């Protein structure tokens, strides 16, 4: 009986590249990685085949427990450059001295699992690991500056409510369901965060176009021991940009990895994403005068009250070499801070200080997770921790305790504490947080749950207010508990009466009585910094343009458009019905993947494409999603088939006019349903 002992190519050759010998995990060379060891050609596999057993064993354990939240993430390497040192505020070298510090950044959605999509309505995690010369500093935040809850004891309840419902296992990566809205309707402190999550911030165009926030109030401590309170902000160089809801839904269908691919391709092409790091700083005297508590994570400090001071910039310039080893295994810890940075008594932050360390041990399987390269500090590390699962270091000598006097016997005594090391700021009374009682209470100012929610909503443009109303209406339409809908409407009446009426009308619900606030809200000054549209950057830098071409299109116009778009920092993809005629196939490249589109086709092409559904959808979706469309009169049949009428944002194929239009969206097209 014949048998086959090797896997060969069509010409009989064995394909192999590279000079490295294939080995087991322990370095033993492998002679055959294609066939298991059997008792005869058709006999059973033998237990002694250690190559097979090791390979299958490793495969069986390739997946680690996914993160409870922030499971779906994308990461990149880069550097932080301190451009405006603040030694008067902190002794942390990363902020006190000019220079560059390596970083690893992970962006993520919150609610969905690792296999969910990139574009649901959700908060985005924004976590930065600074590999400083004084140890790792992890600034763990979100793209929204406030949070749902004030105290970490409520975090498990929040996450249980927003995750898939436990009896049915759905919906995945969505907040539009009973248990989430039941929970937040019973937690008025969530109302400010609801305004942000239901705004366009919840459906960003790109991870390169989101802000980042440290959320909590931290402390900076200078060399003299003086403390200053601080809020951290990341400002994207490309500005803020979001999708519209219908576009986000269709993007998920067209490319579930849309944000991940966008980030990877931008870095791979040298179009490095960049953010500025800004700070808001203040003292206890200023904090005491505010109508909210600065330790309340459901509140923000308006930028009009304390402008954001830029102290540095962050550039992401290298993609991970291995997604699992880096993006998946990176472990962020709010407890990773360096001398010169300290915590405040924010009760949400205090709970996170415990949770993250415990989570990493469970997820990565060992207390030695800090030795994984992406987590390891790039400065010297010395302590007396020993042993444990997967210990990679080989400490020498017997000094694994302190104090010791082994140096008197000529032995290495190990490291010692330094007077320049981290020390917690001692004064707990600067914000009136007297430590002489142990109480399960919240400070009085924590009881104002509506003032900042009202400020946020009323600071938006009319278009953005309409999007918030639409989002809440959509989400509540998925809630089957009528009393929950009524309770939410009661909260909305306290925030803004017009908002409540619009949502109630969209749901065909009667307006209930307004909720009874624990503390009467006030009308705070409005803030333009809270609106995406009021601070929009009309630019093609970092944006993508799709040009649909046909058999009779004018190549000179294609070239002119490409040159004009690329001169403004954008990228161009040529699209055709048949893949071989362009860079992308029309059926697989819907307009949701681009920021603007152009039609460089002939009249005959237009007539044919008007009968091709993907072409009609390409144009109609671009129009519905408020994007610029470049087209000449010869495209009339396709435009008509797509329901596009002459309108602002539909331009001729003049490069200058198209580039100007493509740098923005045309919200006056949007149906006013609110």
Q: Phi/psi zone of residue 239: left (φ > 0), alpha (ψ -120 to 50 degrees), beta?
A: left
Active site residues: 70, 142
Give the burial class of 2: count Cβ atoms within 10 A of its Cβ; 0-12 exposed, 13-18 middle, 19 or more buried.
Answer: exposed
Instruction: Tell me the backbone φ, ψ of residue 342, rounded to 5 degrees.
Output: -150, 170
Chain segment 191-221, per-residue pLDDT in tens: 999 999 999 999 999 999 999 999 999 999 9
- CATH architecture of the domain with range 20-62: Irregular (4.10)
Local confidence band at 356 (pLDDT 50, 70, 90 cut-offs) = confident
CA terminus-to-terminus distance, the chain: 78
| Tokens encoding 264 | 């990877």
Residue owning tokens 């790039």: 378
Instruction: Please tell me the distance from the alpha carbon of residue 665 to that of residue 628, in angstroms, as a whole number.
Output: 7
**Omega cis (within 30) before 403:** yes
Instruction: Please tell me the distance from the alpha carbon of residue 468 to that of residue 463, in angstroms, as a whole number.
Output: 9
What pLDDT score does 18 carry?
58
What pLDDT score does 672 carry?
64
The mean per-residue pLDDT over the stretch 620-641 comes to 96
The correct answer on CATH 2.40.180.10 for the domain covering 73-371 is yes
Local confidence band at 14 (pLDDT 50, 70, 90 cut-offs) = very low
What pLDDT score does 36 carry?
85
Chain segment 303-347, per-residue pLDDT in tens: 999 999 999 999 999 999 999 999 999 999 999 999 999 999 898
**Does the pLDDT value for residue 673 go beyond 70?**
no
Strands (DSSP E) contained in 306-379 are 309-318, 341-343
What pLDDT score does 599 carry?
97
More confident residue, 665 or 15: 665
- Kindly report, as residue ranges, where domains of CATH 4.10.91.20 are found in the chain: 20-62
Q: What pTM, to 2 d.p., does this model score?
A: 0.90
Instruction: Tell me the backbone φ, ψ of residue 315, rounded to 5 degrees.
Output: -120, 130
Residues near 437 by Cβ (< 8 Å), separated by ≥ 6?
none
- CATH architecture of the domain with range 538-669: 3-Layer(aba) Sandwich (3.40)
| Tokens encoding 673 | 């349903």
583-610 residues labelled b (16+ CB within 10 A) or e (exposed): eeebbebbbbbbbbbbbbbbbebbebbb
Tell me, what DSSP letter sits at residue 548? E
Instruction: Tell me the backbone φ, ψ of residue 396, rounded to 5 degrees.
Output: -110, 155
Local confidence band at 7 (pLDDT 50, 70, 90 cut-offs) = very low
Chain segment 426-472, per-residue pLDDT in tens: 777 788 877 666 677 888 899 999 999 999 999 999 999 999 999 99
Local confidence band at 667 (pLDDT 50, 70, 90 cut-offs) = very high
Instruction: Please tell me the distance from the alpha carbon of residue 141 to that of residue 124, in angstroms, as a whole number.
Output: 9
Q: Give percent of the chain with pLDDT exceeding 70.
A: 96
Residue 500: C-alpha distances to residues 493, 512, 527 (Å): 5, 10, 21
Domain at 450-534: CATH code: 1.20.1370.20
**Does the pLDDT value for residue 12 go beyond 50?**
no
What pLDDT score does 6 carry?
38
> How open is the CA angle 102-107-112, to the nearest 5 degrees?
155
What pLDDT score does 653 carry?
94
CB 312 within 8 A of CB 276: yes
What pLDDT score does 430 carry?
83
Instruction: Please tell me the distance from the alpha carbon of residue 548 to that of residue 602, in angstroms, as a whole number.
Output: 11
Residues near 276 by Cβ (< 8 Å), separated by ≥ 6?
234, 235, 237, 310, 312, 313, 314
Local confidence band at 47 (pLDDT 50, 70, 90 cut-offs) = confident
Instruction: Please tell me the distance from the alpha carbon of residue 190 to that of residue 195, in angstroms, as a whole number.
Output: 9
What pLDDT score does 436 carry?
62
What pLDDT score does 438 carry?
64
Chain segment 469-524, per-residue pLDDT in tens: 999 999 999 999 999 999 999 999 999 999 999 999 999 999 999 999 999 999 99
Q: Mean of the per-residue pLDDT values for the chain?
A: 92
The mean per-residue pLDDT over the stretch 12-18 comes to 45
Strands (DSSP E) contained in 121-239 are 124-132, 135-142, 212-213, 218-221, 227-236
**Does the pLDDT value for residue 166 go beyond 60?**
yes
Instruction: Tell me the backbone φ, ψ of residue 130, rounded to 5 degrees.
Output: -90, 125
What pLDDT score does 424 carry?
80
**Does the pLDDT value for residue 361 go beyond 90?**
no
Residues near 20 by Cβ (< 8 Å), separated by ≥ 6?
none
What pLDDT score does 417 carry?
82
Residues near 361 by Cβ (< 8 Å), separated by ≥ 6?
367, 369
Chain segment 535-594, per-residue pLDDT in tens: 999 999 999 999 999 998 899 999 999 999 999 999 999 999 998 899 999 999 999 999
Q: Give percent of the chain with pLDDT exceeding 90.
A: 73
Chain segment 244-271, per-residue pLDDT in tens: 999 999 999 999 999 999 999 999 999 9
């Amino acid at each position: 009986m014949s048998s086959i002992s090797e896997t060969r190519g069509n010409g009989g050759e064995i394909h192999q590249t590279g000079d490295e010998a294939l080995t087991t995990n322990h370095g033993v060379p492998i002679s055959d990685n294609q066939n298991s060891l059997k008792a005869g050609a058709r006999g059973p596999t033998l237990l002694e085949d250690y190559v097979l057993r090791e390979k299958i064993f490793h495969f069986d354990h390739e997946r680690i427990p996914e993160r409870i939240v922030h499971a779906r993430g994308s990461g990149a390497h880069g550097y932080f450059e301190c451009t405006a040192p603040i030694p008067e505020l902190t002794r942390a070298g990363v902020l006190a001295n000019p220079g560059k510090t390596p970083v690893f950044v992970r962006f993520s959605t919150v609610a969905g699992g690792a296999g969910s999509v990139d574009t649901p309505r959700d908060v985005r995690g924004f976590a930065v690991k600074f590999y400083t010369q004084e140890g790792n500093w992890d600034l763990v935040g979100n793209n929204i500056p406030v949070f749902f809850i004030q105290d970490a004891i409520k975090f498990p309840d929040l996450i249980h409510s927003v995750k898939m419902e436990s009896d049915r296992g759905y919906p995945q990566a969505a907040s539009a369901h009973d248990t989430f809205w039941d929970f937040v309707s019973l937690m008025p402190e969530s109302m400010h965060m609801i305004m942000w999550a239901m705004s366009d911030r919840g459906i960003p165009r790109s991870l390169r176009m989101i802000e980042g926030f440290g959320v909590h109030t931290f402390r900076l401590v200078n060399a003299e021991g003086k403390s200053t309170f601080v809020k951290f902000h990341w400002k994207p160089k490309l500005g803020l940009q979001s999708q519209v809801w219908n576009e986000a839904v269709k993007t998920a269908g067209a490319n579930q990895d849309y944000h991940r691919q966008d980030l990877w391709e931008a870095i791979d092409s040298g179009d490095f994403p960049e953010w500025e790091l800004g700070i808001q700083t203040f003292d206890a005297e200023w904090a005491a005068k505010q109508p909210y508590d600065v330790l309340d994570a459901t509140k923000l400090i308006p930028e009009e009250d304390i402008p954001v001071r830029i102290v540095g910039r962050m550039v992401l310039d290298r993609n991970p070499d291995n997604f699992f080893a880096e993006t998946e295994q990176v472990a962020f810890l709010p407890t990773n801070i360096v001398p010169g940075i300290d915590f405040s008594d924010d009760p949400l932050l205090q709970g996170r200080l415990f949770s993250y360390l415990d989570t990493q041990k469970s997820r990565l399987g060992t207390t030695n997770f800090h030795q994984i390269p992406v987590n390891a500090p790039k400065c010297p590390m010395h302590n007396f921790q020993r042993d444990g699962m997967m210990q990679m270091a080989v400490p020498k000598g017997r000094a694994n305790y302190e104090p010791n006097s082994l140096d008197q016997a000529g032995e290495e005594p190990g490291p010692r504490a330094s007077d320049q090391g981290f020390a917690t700021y001692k004064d707990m009374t600067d914000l009136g947080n007297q430590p002489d009682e142990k109480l399960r209470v919240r400070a009085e100012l924590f009881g104002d749950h509506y003032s900042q929610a009202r400020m946020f909503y009323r600071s938006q443009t009319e278009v953005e207010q309409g999007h918030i109303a639409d989002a809440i209406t959509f989400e509540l339409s998925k809630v089957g508990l009528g009393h929950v809908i009524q309770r939410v409407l009661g909260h909305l009446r306290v925030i803004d009466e017009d908002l409540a009426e619009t949502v109630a009308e969209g749901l065909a619900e009667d307006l209930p009585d307004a909720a009874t606030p624990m503390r009467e809200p006030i009308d705070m000054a409005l803030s333009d910094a809270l609106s995406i549209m009021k601070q929009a950057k009309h630019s093609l830098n970092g944006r993508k343009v799709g040009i649909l071409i046909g058999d009779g299109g004018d190549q000179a116009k294609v070239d002119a458009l490409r040159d004009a778009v690329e001169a403004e920092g954008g990228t161009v993809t040529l699209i055709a019905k048949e893949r071989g005629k362009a860079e992308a196939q029309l059926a697989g490249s819907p307009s949701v993947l681009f920021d603007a589109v152009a039609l460089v086709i002939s009249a005959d092409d237009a007539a044919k494409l008007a009968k091709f559904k993907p072409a009609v959808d390409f144009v109609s979706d671009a129009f519905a999603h408020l994007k610029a469309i470049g087209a000449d009169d010869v495209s009339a049949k396709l435009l008509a088939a797509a329901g596009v009428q002459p309108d602002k944002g539909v331009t001729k194929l003049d490069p200058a006019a198209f580039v100007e239009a493509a740098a923005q969206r045309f919200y006056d097209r949007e149906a006013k349903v609110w």
